[in-house]
Amino acid sequence: MQERTDHELLKLHQDGDAEAFGELFRRHKDRMWAVALRTARDPEIAADAVQDGFINAFRRAGSFRGDSAVTTWLHRIVVNACLDRLRRIKPTSDITDIDPADARDHHRSVEVRLDVREALDQLPEGQKMALVLVDMHGMSVTEAAQVLEVAEGTVKSRCARGRAAMAQLLEPA
């Protein structure tokens, strides 16, 4: 039996098929988890956002117009769920709270990741989200524009500005 496409599964879900959305979840939960974790940088928030996102997608399946990939639509919902959760909480810690001596005890790649996270946190939200989706999650500019609900040129501009700022922030002293 041929595997159904995401569009077909979403349509079956809209038509009342009890199993169709579960298959969409199984197919895309890991990718949605990855984007949520990169967006929130907190496993607990990411897990809650993925759950919120899939619940919202389940309930709002009728709002899917079909002019983008189902995964792009899911990304948009999960990213928005992350942003909603991040807006509702007060930061409890900051990446700058990490003792630099502790970071040096770890492998160089850990230090680089910490530096990148710290630099990323200093960017405006729009630039940060564009870079997370395009450079870290590997989305195309078109997909990122759909997720962020902005023009492709805006994503390109935000990425360019964000990369330039990151290069300056990560420049050795």
Residues of the chain with CATH 1.10.1740.10: 1-92
Contact 50, 78 (CB under 8 A): yes
CA distance 169 to 118: 9
Provide CB contacts within 8 A for 66, sequence distance 6+.
7
Q: What is the pLDDT of residues 98-125, one digit of tens each?
A: 455 554 544 455 556 666 778 888 889 8
Q: What is the pLDDT of residues 14-57, one digit of tens each?
A: 999 989 999 999 999 999 999 898 888 889 999 999 999 999 99
CATH 1.10.287.3510 applies to domain 96-173? no
Residues of the chain with CATH 1.10.10.10: 96-173
CA distance 173 to 164: 16
Model-level pTM? 0.61
